[in-house]
Amino acid sequence: MFKLTALPASYGDCLWIEYGAEDNPNVILVDAGPSAPKALISRLEQLAARGGHLELVVVTHVDRDHIGGMLKLLEKDFYGAAVRDFWFNGFRHLSKLEAFGEKQGERLTGLLLEKKVAWNAVIKNAGLMVTPEFCPSFDLPGGATITLLSPDAEQLERLRINWVKVCGEADLYADVPAETEYFGKDGLDAFGATAPLNIPALAGQPFTEDSGEANGSSIAFVIEYEGKRVLLGADAYPSRILKSLAKIDEKLPFRFDLVKVPHHGSENNVSKEFVEALDCKKYLFSSNGANYQHPTQSAVARVIQHAPQSELLFNYKSPYSEIWDDRLLKTMHEYTTSYGADDGISISF
Ligand SMILES: [Zn+2]
């Protein structure tokens, strides 16, 4: 079996990936949302109860909506589930000369050291990154393979220079306050209108690529198992992902069974070129729309416009995802939609 579940993690990501034997699959956890969702905790408790372990845990980058829940999981020792390797590019991986994180109380680094978690063990505690010539691949126990697509050295250097600012923005120095969720007022009001969405016009809006340091440092990768391929875009830049795909694949378009759309479907992370380069029929958008109103209309429209006859998968039904569940739009533009329930949305391959 090979299955990915996008758990309900508010405006963040929390992906639970299983592969291998149906009754005792290998498990990978990618991010834990801003505060670990209940559905994740119960899965970890069940995993621990049957004596299972997490093959791999990945924190894609230091933004709150990916790292916040991971602090809680580390404090609780993953609710009894052992962790074989933990991928995270901390400050020590960004610079050979300086050691910053733990001294300054950056909490994730402190917890990883305190709990003696295997950290980037797959590459002997070095930084996880691609080079202009090479995208490293790692074979995981149980037969899955991961190939890195992002970040590169330049993006890690930008993160290093901005480390103090970025960690401050992610609340990594303080106790994490209770989670507040709200839909941006402007965003909600925008949906009072009933004018039909003009997909070609939305798709054709000018594209400006994301330039956030933390997003650029995202660990994005391809995971493959028994011939099935899934692209997990984290919050990475689409141009970085395309450059890496060109290194690992012979020719365009790049075939995938599922694409987790970068940055929750932000208009700055889904370009026409990105979608056109993919041969994929399933696109996953993970966010409830809180705080950042993701996914953005133009990003979803670019997928509909440039990946014909595709299925849009949303882990939440929110004002920002529900607008695509429109019979007329779906008929006109030949796409389908699926929405998650209390336990998120699962896709089997
Ligand atoms: Zn994010």
Q: What integer pLDDT is reported at residue 84 of this predicted model? A: 97
Cα of 312 to ligand 1 centre, how many Å? 19
Cα of 328 to ligand 1 centre, how many Å? 31
Cα of 119 to ligand 1 centre, how many Å? 22
| Nearest residue to 59 via CA among 23, 22, 12 | 12
Cα of 294 to ligand 1 centre, how many Å? 10
Cα of 332 to ligand 1 centre, how many Å? 31
For residue 256, what are its two tokens?
A: 């995938």
Q: Which range has the worst mean pLDDT, 151-155, 223-227, 247-251, 320-324? A: 247-251
Cα of 12 to ligand 1 centre, how many Å? 5
Cα of 162 to ligand 1 centre, how many Å? 18
> Is the pLDDT confidence value at 183 over 70?
no
The residue segments making up the domain with residue 101 are: 2-174+183-348
Q: What is the pLDDT of residues 121-158, one digit of tens each?
A: 999 888 999 999 999 999 999 999 999 999 999 999 88
pTM: 0.92
Residue 165: pLDDT band with limits 50, 70, 90: confident
| Nearest residue to 240 via CA among 282, 280, 274 | 274
Residue 180: pLDDT band with limits 50, 70, 90: very low
Mean of the pLDDT values across residues 31-38?
94
As a whole number of angstroms, the distance between CA 299 and CA 287 comes to 13
Counted domains in the chain = 1
Q: What integer pLDDT is reported at residue 98 of this predicted model? A: 54
Mean of the pLDDT values across residues 36-44?
96
Cα of 58 to ligand 1 centre, how many Å? 14
Q: Which range has the worst mean pLDDT, 46-50, 100-104, 140-144, 309-313? A: 100-104
Mean of the pLDDT values across residues 244-260?
93
Cα of 287 to ligand 1 centre, how many Å? 9
Cα of 59 to ligand 1 centre, how many Å? 11
> Is the pLDDT confidence value at 12 over 90?
yes
Cα of 24 to ligand 1 centre, how many Å? 30
Cα of 34 to ligand 1 centre, how many Å? 9
Cis before residue 295, ω within 30 degrees of 0?
yes
Cα of 71 to ligand 1 centre, how many Å? 16
Cα of 154 to ligand 1 centre, how many Å? 20
- Could you tell me the CATH number of the domain that includes residue 117? 3.60.15.10
Q: What is the pLDDT of residues 288-298, one digit of tens each?
A: 998 889 999 99
Cα of 345 to ligand 1 centre, how many Å? 18
Cα of 132 to ligand 1 centre, how many Å? 25
Mean of the pLDDT values across residues 201-228?
96
Mean of the pLDDT values across residues 191-216?
85
As a whole number of angstroms, the distance between CA 242 and CA 149 comes to 8
Rg (CA), the chain: 19
Cα of 66 to ligand 1 centre, how many Å? 6
Cα of 235 to ligand 1 centre, how many Å? 5
Query: Could you tell me the sign of the dihedral formed by the alpha carbons of 302, 303, 307, 310, in that order?
Result: negative
b/e sequence 300-311, b meaning 16+ C-beta within 10 Å: bbbbbbbbeebb
Residue 92: pLDDT band with limits 50, 70, 90: confident
